[in-house]
């Protein structure tokens, strides 16, 4: 596909990211999916349906135009069944160049309990701010672009959690989206440990400190100094 000079490079990066998800236990089996935008901006590479993160190859990855046209691939697999929400996010957010969607267990546990994962560490407040919990579709099925895109129309949203389903991290690069997938899972794990310990020790949210970002802390110090 000479019309995509960076295709091989992007495919290799996507394969490496997928393997990192598998090794980090963010995604086993053939679930989840990930994609990356090509330099031409009007096409993406996406994991095929039915292949696991650890089995992505240059031959089975799929190239899809943003208008939905699926280009022929060496291995006759369909693109991920979540293709439509990936395409829509690239259409509505020019800053998104990669999407990593995993069914990672700690985060999906929160999502299945109907609880939004709290941004409870200094890192999550700085890097994410908020991870909205997106409900199932109105007919009770898995989320599609109908539920997902409105949340990501807010340009400050970079991570979200799908009820009874999994996580979404978006970024300017595959590595940025991957880091978010990892931070979402890590934060869910930390939140579970915190809440379990607080319950065991009879603590309530009133016992927790209030804090914000480093920028907010600096602003507060400088306004105090000026006062
Ligand atoms: Zn999924």
> What pLDDT does residue 81 have?
86
Q: For helices 105-112 and 174-200, what crossing angle results, to 10°?
A: 60
CA distance 126 to 5: 36
Residues 180/150, Cβ–Cβ less than 8 Å = no
Q: What pLDDT score does 12 carry?
A: 98
26 CA to middle of ligand 1, Å? 12
Strand ranges across the sheet with 98-102: 62-65, 43-46, 33-37, 98-102, 166-171, 159-162, 133-134
- Phi, psi at 59, each rounded to 5°: -75, -35
Return mean pLDDT, the chain: 92
* Residue in 79, 35, 53, 18 with CA at minimum distance from that of residue 170: 35
Q: How far is the CA of 179 from the centre of ligand 1 (A)?
A: 18
The three-state secondary structure class of 171 is: strand
**Per-residue pLDDT tens for 160-197?**
999 999 999 999 999 999 999 999 999 999 999 999 99
Report which of 49, 44, 50 is spatially closest to residue 14, judged by C-alpha positions: 44
pLDDT digits (tens, 9 = 90+) for 74-101: 877 888 889 999 999 999 999 999 999 9
Calculate how far, in angstroms, residue 167's C-alpha sits from the geometric centre of ligand 1.
8
CA 139 to chain centre: 24
Q: What is the distance between the alpha carbons of residues 201 and 179, in angstroms, rounded to a whole number?
A: 32
- Tracing tokens 């996010």 back to the chain, one arrives at 89
Instruction: Output the CA 162–ligand 1 centroid distance in Å.
Output: 9
CATH superfamily of the domain spanning 7-226: Class II aldolase/adducin N-terminal domain (3.40.225.10)
The residues facing 46 across adjacent strands are 35, 62
Q: Which residues contact 134 (CB under 8 A, 6 or more apart)?
A: 143, 147, 148, 151, 160, 161, 162, 163
Strand segments, DSSP code E, in the chain are 33-37, 43-46, 62-65, 98-102, 133-134, 159-162, 166-171
- Measure 203 CA to ligand 1 centroid, in angstroms: 35
Spacing, Cα 150 to ligand 1 middle (Å):
18
The predicted structure's pLDDT at residue 219: 79
The residues spanned by each domain of the chain are 7-226
Q: What is the pLDDT of residue 225?
A: 64
More confident residue, 206 or 14: 14
pLDDT at 226: 63
Is residue 122 pLDDT above 90, yes or no?
no
pLDDT, mean of residues 208-215: 75
């Amino acid at each position: 596909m000479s019309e995509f000079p960076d295709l091989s490079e992007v495919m290799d990066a996507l394969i490496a990211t997928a393997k990192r998800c598998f090794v980090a236990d963010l995604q086993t089996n053939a679930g989840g999916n990930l994609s990356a935008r090509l330099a031409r901006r009007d096409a993406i590479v996406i994991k095929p349906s039915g292949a696991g993160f650890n089995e992505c190859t240059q031959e089975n990855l799929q190239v899809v135009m943003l208008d939905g046209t699926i280009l022929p691939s060496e291995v006759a697999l369909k693109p991920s069944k979540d293709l439509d929400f990936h395409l829509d996010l690239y259409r509505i957010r020019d800053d998104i160049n990669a999407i990593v969607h995993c069914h990672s267990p700690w985060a999906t546990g929160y999502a299945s309990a109907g609880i939004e994962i709290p941004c409870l560490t200094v890192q999550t407040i700085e890097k994410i701010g908020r991870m909205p919990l997106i409900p199932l579709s109105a007919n009770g099925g898995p989320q599609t672009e109908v539920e997902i895109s409105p949340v990501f129309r807010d340009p400050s949203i970079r991570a979200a959690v799908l009820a009874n389903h999994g996580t979404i991290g978006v970024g300017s690069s595959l590595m940025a989206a991957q880091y978010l997938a990892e931070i979402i899972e890590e934060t869910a794990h930390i939140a579970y440990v915190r809440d379990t310990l607080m319950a065991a020790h009879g603590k309530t949210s009133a016992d927790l400190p209030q804090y914000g970002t480093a920028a907010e802390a600096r602003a507060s110090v400088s306004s105090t100094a000026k006062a």
